[in-house]
Amino acid sequence: MFLDVSSFSPGMKILIWLIPFSHPFMAAPNLLLGQTASVWYGILYLAFFFVIF
């Protein structure tokens, strides 16, 4: 992604977070910034998405 997701409005953040393939792209910057909780939530969301579909 070319933009910082944390600077978006809450509604736009939710729309981006609902897209499953956005989580891997947001994982690297979050890990570098020490925000591991969002990375774990992304992993859980992708696992849930994989099991459902």
Q: What is the 3-state secondary structure (H, E, C) of the chain?
A: CCCCHHHCCHHHHHHHHHCHHHHHHHHHHHHHCCCHHHHHHHHHHHHHHHHHC
CA dihedral 14, 20, 26, 31 (to 10 degrees): 110
In a domain, 1, yes or no: no
In a domain, 25, yes or no: yes
Q: How many domains does the chain have?
A: 1
For the residues 11-37, what does the mean pLDDT come to?
Answer: 91
For the residues 38-51, what does the mean pLDDT come to?
Answer: 93
Tell me the residue range of the domain where 36 lies.
7-52
Q: Given the structure tokens 């947001």, which residue do they identify?
A: 26
Q: In which band, very low, low, confident or very high, does the pLDDT at 11 lie, cut at 50, 70 and 90?
A: very high
Per-residue pLDDT at 6: 82
